[in-house]
């Protein structure tokens, strides 16, 4: 498995398995199948509601903890009369308990809202204590990412953002590279939007290699040095998504895929006031 080296020296597998939108009752079986297929990098979040099922799959697998790279995420903390710092640490402890582990490989601030400066101070301390080997963020646009970097001690190791052929984030990736932050893709297949799986360009490249469109998309991201966490509940698809290291896209093929970029999200805008308010009103612990 190819890996990337984060800004603190931690090695992170470039390909992982995500569990966003997998129902809690299906998650354990899905993660067990992913681990059986060879995945050792797992990505979940408190807000997904399936951390305990991920933990049960890890336990059932018998795989040694040190062989796994486990990521989860801190939701927006709400403590109007208390301490966001303390609540962030409690939320971390809750995630550890649900996962059944005693440390995380990567802990991310899930959304760039609320008092994320207090959250980041808590995460910096968790990192210094060895409880989170690396810390980072998710869904941070470049301006908020730079602001966080410039006013804190530890530079985020990762920024997990929407990244796929129709929203490629090249400028964001370049800024992250300059600042020592690893880009990670969520939604690599755009959930099939814009007819991704039948797109003529992607289909032609896939035919050239005897691969699926999904494999081409994952290979395209990996060749861009983007960490990626595809999701599936079907073992045959998990195995297919894992089999993306035996071929290479040509420069010409990479350029054809680059031309698909629309420069806009296919999901929602983190700068939309209504979306900011909706996300900020949700509660997870």
Rg, Å, the chain Cα set: 18
Helical pair 24-37 and 235-242, crossing angle rounded to 10 deg: 40
Number of domains in the chain: 1
Question: What dihedral do alpha carbons 193, 197, 200, 206 form, nearest 10°?
Answer: 140
pLDDT along the chain (285 residues), means of 10: 96 98 95 98 96 98 97 90 90 97 98 96 98 98 97 98 98 98 97 96 98 98 98 95 97 98 93 92 86
Q: Please report where in the chains the tokens 């050239």 appear, as a residue.
A: 208
- Cα gap 124→20, rounded to integer Å: 25
Q: What is the CATH number of the domain that holds 206?
A: 3.20.20.100
Query: Quick one: 80 exposed, middle or buried, by C-beta within 10 A (0-12, 13-18, 19+)?
Result: exposed
Asked if residue 156 is part of any domain, the answer here is yes
Calpha distance 184→226 (Å, rounded)? 5
pLDDT computed for residue 81 by the predictor: 65
Q: Is residue 285 part of a domain?
A: no
Q: Exposure of 33 by Cβ count < 10 A (0-12 exposed, 13-18 middle, 19+ buried)?
A: buried
**Three-state secondary-structure class, residue 227:** strand
CB 185 within 8 A of CB 230: no
CA–CA distance, 213 with 221 (Å, rounded to integer): 12
- Residue pair 44/21 in contact by the 8 Å Cβ criterion: no
What's the pTM value of the predicted model, to 2 decimals? 0.95
In angstroms, the Cα distances linking 242 to 77, 81, 129, 268 are 35, 47, 33, 28
Yes or no: say if 170 and 261 are a contact pair by the CB < 8 Å rule: yes
Q: Treating both helix axes as pointing N-terminal to C-terminal, what angle do 84-99 and 116-128 enclose, rounded to 10 degrees?
A: 50
168 within domain boundaries = yes
User: Which residues carry out catalysis?
Assistant: 48
In this structure, the dihedral spanned by the alpha carbons of residues 28, 33, 37 and 41, taken in order and rounded to 10 degrees, is -10
107 assigned to some structural domain = yes
Helices (H) and strands (E) in the chain, counts: 11, 10
Q: Any idea which residue has 């890996």 for tokens?
A: 3
For residue 191, what are the domain limits? 3-280
- Cα separation of 201 and 264, whole Å? 19
């Amino acid at each position: 498995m190819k890996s990337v080296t984060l800004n603190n020296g931690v090695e992170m597998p470039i390909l992982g398995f995500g569990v966003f939108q997998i129902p809690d009752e299906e998650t354990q079986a899905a993660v067990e199948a992913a681990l059986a297929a060879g995945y050792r990098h797992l990505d979940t979040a408190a807000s997904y509601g399936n951390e305990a099922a991920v933990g049960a799959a890890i336990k059932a697998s018998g795989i040694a903890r040190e062989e796994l790279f486990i990521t989860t995420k801190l939701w927006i903390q709400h403590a109007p009369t208390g301490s966001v710092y303390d609540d962030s640490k409690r939320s971390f402890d809750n995630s550890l308990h649900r996962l059944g582990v005693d440390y995380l490989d990567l802990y991310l601030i899930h959304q760039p809202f609320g008092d994320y400066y207090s959250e980041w101070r808590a995460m910096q301390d968790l990192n210094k204590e060895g409880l989170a080997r690396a810390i980072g963020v998710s869904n941070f646009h470049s301006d908020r990412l730079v602001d966080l970097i410039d006013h804190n001690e530890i530079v985020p190791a990762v920024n997990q953002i929407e990244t796929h052929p129709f929203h490629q984030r090249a400028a964001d990736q370049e800024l992250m590279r300059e600042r020592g932050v690893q880009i990670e893709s969520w939604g690599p297949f755009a959930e099939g939007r814009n007819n991704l799986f039948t797109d003529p360009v992607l289909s032609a490249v896939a035919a050239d290699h005897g691969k699926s469109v999904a494999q081409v998309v994952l290979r395209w991201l990996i060749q861009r040095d983007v960490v990626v966490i595809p999701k599936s509940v079907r073992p045959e698809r998990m195995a297919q998504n894992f089999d993306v290291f035996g071929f290479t896209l040509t420069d010409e093929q990479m350029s054809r895929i680059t031309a698909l970029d629309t420069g806009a999200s296919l999901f929602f805008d983190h700068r939309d006031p209504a979306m900011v308010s909706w996300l900020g009103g949700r509660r997870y612990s």
